[in-house]
Structure 1
Amino acid sequence: MSLSWGSLAAVLGLAVPVAAALWEFVLAGRKRLGYRVQLDTTIRDSAASGPATTVLQRMQWDGTNLSDPSVVLLRIENAGWSPVVAADYVAPASDPVGIRIAFPGRRVVGMTVTERSPQVPPTFFVPGAEGFETTGREVKLPKVILNRRAHYKVLAVLDREEGFTEPEFPEPEVTAGIVGGVRGGNIRKTAYYPFASRQVRWLLASLILVSATQSAFTLAGSEDTAAPLDCAAGTLRLSGSTAFAPVLREAAEQYERTCPDARIPLTATSFKGSVDGLDTLAAAGAAARLPDGRGLGDRLTFSDGPKSDGRPRLLPRPVALSLFTLVVHKEAGVEDLSLKQVRDVYAGRVTNWSRVGGNDVPIHLVSRNPGSGTRTTLERQVLDGRPLPAVTTPDCAGLDRDRPGRCEVGGTGTLLDTVASTPGALGHSEVGAAAAHDDVRQIRIDGYPATLEGADQGAYPYWQTEIAYTYGEPPADSIAAGFLRYLADEVGKDIVRARGHRPCAELDKPLLCRPDGAPAAR
């Protein structure tokens, strides 16, 4: 029986990939240790300075003097098909260190493990654990047991070494090996997802040509490349919180890059505040005149806290815990206030910083406009439900520098600039934006700084649940539903975390992220 060219191509198209897969993943790929550099940025990089600045300035508050700080996030993973155990690492049995990471031109200030697979024991990374340490320019990691596809992430905070003058730093040098691994067992830098050796990739590329030849007999056109699971086509309109806007801008950019048929147009006025966003969403839903049970698939709004009553068709989805902070002009002379002192200041009982141990400067309250979630959270959770005092001037430039007063502004950036330029000014802001502004000072409350740990443990009061709202239930295949899934996925959570917020699913007490915005009983 003779075979046609099409039949021969079909046989080759089946046999060769099977043989290649057996060789790469069963024979040669039994053990494979890999790493990825997921983030390597300095405070000089404007595109990523927001999250890096937050962490590094916090290090400076703790007394560390960083001249040219940077952060590196590495993912260590088992990229093979066999578990990696302690005995597999190429190191003496008496040496607890399995992986060494050097940073040429930089010294290590500190490190932490930010994420690990559920099956990776946390005991490997507790302070003082054998093999888990830093020494000068090097990070040492223990002989971690990694099942197939298991991973963990290490975040290192670094500073430029004296005498290193190159403008850019070399890539981190990762040294490790496993017994019986692929190509000598040395750790390999992997792509986004471990795939195959160079030889097999060349072989598969050749097979693509064969398959294309066979397909030409049966197909008249080419098939579109399937988009990732969370991708959806269409245009998505985002609105709402200015405090959460940096997260949404970065996530929208990444989503458009991942999903070529998605469009998320954003302008300077896309985010005007939580209440404005809720109003915009409600108006769009009413104009659409959707029947009960159906929702808008092209709009989302984000609010610092819960909606008000009277919006029954707006459905909440808690996304993250957001931190806020009080900020003052750097010449106010205060760094810590008790909760009672904060309430006295906003009640008008204290009008000069000297009354609370600061300099002899009148207090000027700079607040967000009504409708701001940051302001609403201040009134509800810090001021015990009491409203702010009356505005004394409609324009902050008109504040009398010799008398106390209050004015209002529209956005977080404008508020921070106003506080920085007004002696004695006190305002409120999202923590990430405040940390990135050099000319304001954050205020501790009852001795507690604005940290996620303090909020999670009930010690720090100025925080709120960041909530995504939809008008009705969006269709499962809509761009609104896809973007929400993206925020809850690994990449989205990395963006949320990098901007100083905490995904609700990662909290020690997830009930803090309640849709009604009320703290769970403690």
Structure 2
Amino acid sequence: MNLDFDKWVALISVGFPFAAFLWEFAVVGRKRLGYRVQMDTLAADATQSPYAGVLRDMQQDGHHLKDPSFVLLRIENAGTAPIEEGDYLTPDSDPCGIRVTFRERQVAALVVTELSQDELRDAFIRDNQAVPGFGHDNHLPERQGVIRLPKVKLPVRAEYKVLVVLERWPDDQSREPFPKPVFRGAVGGRRRWFDPVLRFFRFKVARTESHVFASRPAWFGIVLLAMAVMVQAGLTLFVRDEPAPLDCVGGTLHLGGSTAFAPAVKAAADEYVKLCAAKGAHIPVDGGTFQGSGNGVAALEKTGDDAGISGEEGLRDHIAFTDGPTEGNHPQILPRPIAYTLFTLVVNEDAKVRNLSLQQVRDIYARKITNWSEVGGADLPVHLVDRYRNSGTRNALEKRVLKGRPVPEADVNDCSALDRNKPGVCEADSTDNLLDRTAAIPGALGYSEVSSVTSGRLVKLRIDDMPPTLDGVENGTYPYWQTEYAYTYGEPPADSIAAAFLRYLTDQGGKDVLRQYGNRPCSETKYPLVCRPT
């Protein structure tokens, strides 16, 4: 039998009231010994009145009580059946049914008061003598006082109260509040057939506890039941089993291309998969999915060529994303502008630079400026961390910031081999690796899509006092941006998952995801097919 989530909630909603009823009334509720600490206060707390001198002057055996305190305890039958003497879970040879320990205090006196029934009096005093099991002890090594209450036969709803007078140990100079009393004692009819089972699971039968209405297990069941009812109500009111939208297409879609645009595309892919789960949509994305704009286009072309695609119909399940239009001759692949995205120069915080002029940026990449002190920063050599040649982020930097001039070639094969005392150039294979190396090398300068910069050791550089913002791009004051393109091998069929995902990115909910990552969807520009700032 297959059960969905709301059916499981319904079963829990029915099962827990039944289980809670059995637990509360058949297991622990039948025999339940309860207590309440109705008062636990220092005599000094009550002597704010000029008429309370007697409380301050209480004595025992000729000495004044030190920090006297009063505790009023209420012991009650909170179950649904009478409590007999044989129900107390202490050895038959022990006449004491309940022990209450007062840490850091010794007992000076106690008295039983407010009996709910006169017949209870004989349970404590007989022939003017305390019955066995009723009294108190003070244990000096443990620094605690203990009162003993006998195995009192309590009819249903019967109760009695015990007033205890205590004092601080004479040699105790502390003024800290006293710990709460600790109760030990339980009842529960040891002759029931399921008691061995309860003891096996270490359940104490009707453990003495402070409560008015129900035991802790029952409270847990009641709270869980209430939560189940609320969840089921929420499912009924707000969640409906709706089919996937008509425009959803199932199948597996393979992505690739730009590492800078990857976070936004991955987030949009996750949302598409959730939206179209009923159609079996699957878009696998892992650490090797996005390998750069150039590599993505090359992989797309190879896949289409190997598949022998010809004619008007293209690949149904592959898309590559690039930062800007791809270079070279690629007659089989078709571009679609998706959004224009924002890039930023990032510098290691040790360089002590937050703003550069556009000319200073160009001079740095022309290696005319090789130390940050030349632009008002720290005395550190400039280390350029670049992307590989087929990177769309690098191409955007060269085209829009450096006026078409290429970035300098790498001096070393690995950025870790840079001489930290001399200016140098190295390359990284992805946006994440570039950012990691820039954050690790003092004086390093790199570049990235804006939303990918999360390290606290990296500073997003202003260019001519302008921060990297879409507003700056659109009013023409910030130069580092690029249009993101989606490439397909031929025209994907309208009923393919590739076409459906592109529609989702450009005309549906995918636009909201792209916007969250700092991109401007092309559909929101004046000329969507061109997709440029206006």
TM-score by length of structure 1 reads: 0.55
CA distance in 1: counterparts of 2:353 and 2:428, whole angstroms? 23
Counterpart of 2:387 (choices 352, 368, 383) is 368
CA distance in 2: counterparts of 1:383 and 1:453, whole angstroms? 21
Identity of aligned residues (%): 52
> Match for residue 419 of structure 1?
438
Tell me how far 1:308 sits from its aligned partner: 1.6
CA distance in 2: counterparts of 1:510 and 1:439, whole angstroms? 38
Tell me how far 1:258 sits from its aligned partner: 1.5
What is the 5 A alignment of 1:210-221? none
> Match for residue 378 of structure 1?
397
CA contact (8 A) 1:327 1:427 kept: yes
Which stretch shows the higher mean deviation, 460-469 or 285-294? 285-294
Tell me how far 1:490 sits from its aligned partner: 4.1
Counterpart of 1:239 (choices 256, 264, 275) is 256
Q: Quick check: 1:393 aligned with 2:412?
A: yes
Tell me how far 1:226 sits from its aligned partner: 4.6
Counterpart of 1:355 (choices 369, 374, 381) is 374
CA contact (8 A) 2:507 2:523 kept: no
> Match for residue 530 of structure 2?
514
User: CA offsets per residue over residues 22-79 of structure 1, 9 Å max, x none?
Assistant: xxxxxxxxxxxxxxxxxxxxxxxxxxxxxxxxxxxxxxxxxxxxxxxxxxxxxxxxxx
CA contact (8 A) 2:506 2:522 kept: no
CA contact (8 A) 1:242 1:271 kept: yes
> Match for residue 404 of structure 1?
423
Tell me how far 1:491 sits from its aligned partner: 2.1
> Match for residue 448 of structure 2?
429
> Residue 250 of structure 1: SS of its match in structure 2?
helix
Tell me how far 1:343 sits from its aligned partner: 0.6
What's the Cα RMSD here? 2.1
> Match for residue 68 of structure 2?
none
Q: Quick check: 1:445 aligned with 2:431?
A: no
Q: Quick check: 1:318 aligned with 2:337?
A: yes
Counterpart of 2:319 (choices 287, 296, 300) is 300
Say which one has the larger Rg: 2
TM-score by length of structure 2 reads: 0.53
> Match for residue 132 of structure 2?
none
Counterpart of 2:488 (choices 451, 456, 470) is 470
CA contact (8 A) 1:230 1:483 kept: no
Aligned length: 297
> Match for residue 265 of structure 1?
284
Tell me how far 1:266 sits from its aligned partner: 1.2
> Match for residue 332 of structure 1?
351
User: CA offsets per residue over residues 196-240 of structure 1, 9 Å max, x none?
Assistant: xx9xx89xx9xxxxxxxxxxxxxxxxxx97531221121100000
CA contact (8 A) 1:366 1:406 kept: yes
User: CA offsets per residue over residues 244-291 of structure 1, 9 Å max, x none?
Assistant: 111111111111111121111112100010011100111111111122
> Match for residue 221 of structure 1?
none
> Match for residue 117 of structure 2?
none
Query: Any gaps of 5 or more consecutive residues in structure 1?
Result: 1-197, 206-223
CA distance in 2: counterparts of 1:291 and 1:368, whole angstroms? 34
CA distance in 1: counterparts of 2:306 and 2:260, whole angstroms? 28
Q: Quick check: 1:256 aligned with 2:273?
A: yes
CA distance in 1: counterparts of 2:470 and 2:488, whole angstroms? 27
- CA distance 1:295–1:490, change in 2 (3 Å): closer
Query: Any gaps of 5 or more consecutive residues in structure 2?
Result: 1-232
Counterpart of 1:493 (choices 511, 529, 534) is 511
